[in-house]
Structure formats: C-alpha cells, structure tokens
Amino acid sequence: MDQDTDLRRRERYFELLRVQSPADRLRKAGALTQAVRQLAQVGIRQRFPQADALELKVRLTVRLYGREVAHRLFGAHPALLS
C-alpha cells in the first residue's frame, strides 16, 4: 500500500479503519482470511483436479502452515512428497 497508493487515499483508508469498532475490524479480518483460504483451495483444485478431499486438505495445510505442520497432522501422506 505504501508505494502504490497516494498519501491522501492512504490516510483516508486508515481514518476509516480507526472509526470502525474492534468487532467490525475483526469481522473484516475474518472475512479476508476466509477469502484467502477459498482462493488457495481453488488454486489447489485447479492444479490437482484428481485430488480427493483428504489430499486437498493436506495440500491446503501445506500452503497455509507449512510441510512440517501438515506432516504432524496427516503423517506420511503421498501429497507431502511432491
């Protein structure tokens, strides 16, 4: 945001954030997190169209939390080898 947004618009953005309640900011952060998760899932489905539900979960976990966490949660799943 610092390099591609002019100063007036950036200040207005922060002003709008400041007047929101903490609950509203938290709701928006949750919605953005969900949107990122959905985009990641779509990308994984496109890249691995034959993947079953478990493989999709494994690959999403790798993308969001890393291979080590996925291995702890799912063991030696074949999706962790690629």
Assigned token pair, 58: 């494994």
pLDDT tens-digit profile, the chain (82 residues): 557 778 899 999 899 999 999 999 999 999 999 999 999 999 999 999 999 999 999 999 999 999 999 999 999 999 998 7
d(CA 59, CA 65): 10
Give every CB contact of residue 10 below 8 A, 6+ residues apart in sequence: 1, 2
Q: Residue 2 has what pLDDT?
A: 59
- Helix H or strand E segment including 53: helix 53-65
**What is the pLDDT at residue 72?**
96
